[in-house]
Amino acid sequence: DPETRIRNRHVDFQVNDRAAQILRFRSLITSRIREYLQAKGYLEVQTPIMANLAGGAVARPFRTQAVEFLNRHIELRTAPELWLKRLVLGGFERIFEIGPCFRNEGIDKIHNPEFTTCEFYKAYANLDYLTDLTERLISELVTYTNQLTLKKLPSLSTCNFSIDKPFPRVDFLETLQRLMNAVLPDLKSRNAETEIIQQFHVNGIPLPESPTLPKLLDRLASKYLEPSCQQPTWIINHPECLAPLAKSFTDQNTKQRVSARAELFIGGKEVVNTYEEENSPFEQRRKFEEQVKYRNDDNRADIDEDYLKALEWGLPPTGGWGCGIDRLVMLLSGTDRINDVLPFGNLRNVVSLGKGGRDVLVSQ
pLDDT tens digits for range 234-245: 999 999 999 999
Q: Percent of the chain having pLDDT more than 70?
A: 94
Total Cβ atoms within 10 A of residue 12: 16
Which residues have C-beta within 8 Å of that of residue 303, sequence separation ≥ 6? 285, 288, 289, 292
Please answer whether residues 121 and 88 qualify as being in contact, where contact means their C-beta atoms are separated by less than 8 angstroms: yes
Distance (Å, rounded) from C-alpha 156 to C-alpha 145? 9
Q: Which of 135, 171, 165 is nearest to 261 (CA)?
A: 171
pTM for this structure? 0.92
pLDDT at position 298 is: 64
Instruction: Quick: pLDDT tens for 298-329.
Output: 666 678 899 999 999 999 999 999 999 999 99
pLDDT at position 354 is: 61
Distance (Å, rounded) from C-alpha 171 to C-alpha 174? 6
Which residues have C-beta within 8 Å of that of residue 10, sequence separation ≥ 6? none
Question: Mean pLDDT for each 10-residue chunk of the chain (364 residues)?
Answer: 75 89 96 98 96 77 87 90 96 97 90 96 98 97 95 90 92 96 94 95 92 94 96 97 96 96 96 97 94 74 88 97 97 93 89 62 46
Q: Which residues pair with 63 in a beta bridge?
A: 75
Spacing of C-alpha 323 from chain mean position: 6
Three-state SS for 25? helix
pLDDT at position 334 is: 93
pLDDT at position 351 is: 85
pLDDT at position 194 is: 95
pLDDT at position 68 is: 87
**∠172-175-176 over CA atoms, to 5°?**
75
Please answer whether residues 6 and 362 qualify as being in contact, where contact means their C-beta atoms are separated by less than 8 angstroms: yes
Distance (Å, rounded) from C-alpha 74 to C-alpha 64? 5
pLDDT at position 364 is: 45
Instruction: Quick: pLDDT tens for 98-141.
Output: 999 999 988 899 999 999 999 999 999 999 999 999 999 999 99
pLDDT at position 321 is: 98
Q: Which of 308, 336, 247 is nearest to 89 (CA)?
A: 308
